[in-house]
């Protein structure tokens, strides 16, 4: 991949062979029990999350967006709604943008949660490189790559928005940058409401940019 990652607004698609696909992470979720909610239904945006979604729509306003895809989960669809309103078209659900499955959905999982003291959990924690507790990184990368490529083809010469989740977006970026897919979760550059933009030229990703329209923070929320 030529070029590289930079902060701020990506270049607009300026020629027929240049297309931009924006990966928008959903906003903050109402999660008072602080569980790893994963693909569980019923987890919707908080009030701050709705503000983040509106900030993302404002960030994208004025761009030549032609396609809007979203993970089918409520928090993603709610984040896509202000974008749909901004550009005046419907949201198309795409299962390939969904949160990865995880063995610990519905549980409090993290430092101090006590999970490492439970022998029943140990069989899921033996391989952080796959990872052994959930959907393999290679599978996430493959479905995201396919969804992004389809979005780029549908928006050819223009721009597309794909609303997804932290881990799929980060794995997609690492794959595009030809880096190892395994990583430290605390080092993901993919804040709530952030926009990771992939510039395609002649069907290949040539540059990546990243922006946080709602400001930095919100990195520690579970199941995002």
Segment 41-78, tens digit of pLDDT: 999 999 999 999 999 999 999 999 999 999 999 999 99
pLDDT single digits (tens) 1-27:
534 454 556 656 555 689 999 999 999
Whether 76 is covered by a domain: the verdict is: yes
| Cβ contact 113:78 at 8 Å | no
Q: What is the pLDDT of residue 3?
A: 40
Structure tokens of 74? 């409520």
Whether 157 is covered by a domain: the verdict is: yes
Between 87 and 217, the higher pLDDT residue: 87
Whether the pLDDT of residue 163 is over 80: the answer is yes
Q: What is the pLDDT of residue 222?
A: 44
- The CATH number given to whatever domain includes residue 204 is 3.40.50.1240
Tell me if the pTM is above 0.75: yes
Chain position carrying tokens 């297309």: 19
Whether 174 is covered by a domain: the verdict is: yes
Q: How far is CA 191 from the centre of its chain?
A: 9
216 burial type by CB count under 10 A (0-12 exposed, 13-18 middle, 19+ buried): exposed
Domain range holding 168?
5-211
Among 67, 24, 1, 69, smallest CA distance to 211 is for 24
**Three-state DSSP state, 61:** coil
Among 12, 88, 98, smallest CA distance to 57 is for 88
**Three-state DSSP state, 194:** coil
Whether 160 is covered by a domain: the verdict is: yes
Distance (Å, whole) CA 102 – CA 39: 8
Whether 163 is covered by a domain: the verdict is: yes
């Amino acid at each position: 991949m030529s070029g590289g990652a930079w902060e701020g607004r990506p270049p607009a698609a300026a020629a027929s062979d240049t297309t931009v696909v924006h990966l928008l992470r959903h906003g903050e979720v109402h999660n008072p029990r602080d569980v790893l909610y994963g693909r569980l239904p019923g987890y919707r945006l908080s009030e701050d999350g709705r503000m983040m979604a509106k900030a993302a729509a404002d960030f994208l306003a004025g761009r030549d967006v032609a396609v809007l895809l979203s993970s089918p989960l409520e928090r993603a669809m709610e984040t896509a709604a202000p974008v749909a309103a901004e550009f005046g078209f419907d949201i198309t659900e795409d299962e390939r943008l969904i949160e990865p499955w995880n063995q610990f959905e519905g549980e409090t999982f993290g430092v101090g949660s006590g999970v490492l003291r439970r022998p029943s959990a140990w069989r899921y924690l033996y391989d952080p490189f796959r990872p052994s507790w959930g959907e393999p990184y290679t599978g996430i990368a493959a479905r995201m790559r396919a969804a992004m490529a389809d979005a780029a083809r549908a928006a050819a010469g223009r721009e597309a928005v794909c609303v997804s989740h932290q881990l799929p977006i980060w794995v997609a970026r690492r794959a595009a940058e030809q880096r190892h897919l395994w990583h430290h979760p605390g080092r993901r550059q993919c804040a709530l409401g952030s926009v990771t933009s992939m510039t395609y030229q002649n069907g290949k990703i040539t540059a990546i940019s990243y922006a946080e329209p709602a400001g930095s923070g919100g990195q520690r929320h579970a199941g995002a």
